[in-house]
Amino acid sequence: MAKYNTLLYYCYSTIADAEQFAADHLKFCKSLGLTGRIIVADEGLNGTVSGTPEACRAYMDAVHADERFAATDFKIDEVDEPSFVKMHVRYKSEIVHSGLRDPNIINPNERTGKHLEPAEFMAMKDDEDVVVLDVRSNYEHSVGKFKNAVTLDIENFRDFPAMIDQLAQYKDKKILTYCTGGIKCEKASALLLHEGFENVYQLHGGIIKYGKEVGGKDFEGKCYVFDNRLTVDVNSVNPEVISTCRNCGKITPKMINCANPECNEHFTQCDECGTQLEGCCSTTCQSHPRKRVYDGTGYYVKVPQPINTSKKNKVQLVQE
């Protein structure tokens, strides 16, 4: 039995005085001995936390006990060690950065795509009148995606709104959106509806829940996650590796961050090239004076920095 759990979750629900909530929530998480990363905004919560099964159960019970977050859907992974080193809670303007802050246009609590449970998504995804749309960034779908999915050339989710015109060709189709845990689809599907797409759906719980409930059929490759695991397996039915080493082109499922902290690019790299380039994406980055020590994982703990958590531009530290 695994010694730890990792929880992935989000909840769109209005939080009054979200800045203070973030500070209090950090103390609460630390009191449970959790590690992880949580974003708090006026619109809700978005988090991944890791700890003992007992600590994670206590955390989920506390979140569900708050009527604002009672409907939160936790995706639970069993892991051999915590998926983070430290506990961070940050206040931000959005729980997933889209640049769309007008509640008259995007409000997942009022209008969003129809939620499909994993079994429903699997039953619909191959229909002729369906387009499966990946709303994640390039580095995420480069390591894994649904078979025949439409992917977008975007570096961050905030680039998604600019892609609407390119998606107009699918307006007469049923659009099935998906992402890692479901949070990006809430806003992506809401925007598609606002832009005149009529038949918009989203995979409830995202790729992670799909893998747990129906075995991940037809998800090719691995799923990128935002913790020190970097990627996780999803498909136990018909798995296939689709990613290739950026440097030599060899098939590899391994994704890392460039060891040059000023680059820090997410990319796929085989172990041989990782050893030769010391975890860097290029010889230029390999010669950088601040290059971090490559231990074979390609994951590096970020050094805590003062961040602006106040609307009044007061600099505070919300992580230790």
**Active-site residue list:** 179
C-alpha to C-alpha distance for 3 and 68, rounded to whole angstroms: 30
Contact status, residue 184 vs residue 135, Cβ threshold 8 Å = yes
C-alpha to C-alpha distance for 5 and 59, rounded to whole angstroms: 11
* Nearest Cα residue to 300 out of 272, 273, 266, 277: 266
Q: Read off the DSSP letter of residue 6.
A: E
DSSP β-bridge partners for residue 232: 223
Largest CA distance in the chain: 54
Q: Which residues of 131-160 are buried (b: 16+ CB within 10 A; e: fewer)?
A: bbbbbbbebbbbbbbbeebbbbebeebeeb
* Nearest Cα residue to 214 out of 128, 76, 120: 120
C-alpha to C-alpha distance for 255 and 266, rounded to whole angstroms: 7
| Residue whose pair of structure tokens reads 């939620």 in the numeric block | 115
Residue 112's Cβ-side half-sphere holds a number of Cα atoms within 13 Å equal to 21
Q: How many CB atoms lie within 10 A of CB 242?
A: 16
3-state SS assignment for residue 95 = coil
C-alpha to C-alpha distance for 319 and 302, rounded to whole angstroms: 11
* Total residue count of the chain as it appears in this document: 320
Q: How many CB atoms lie within 10 A of CB 112?
A: 23
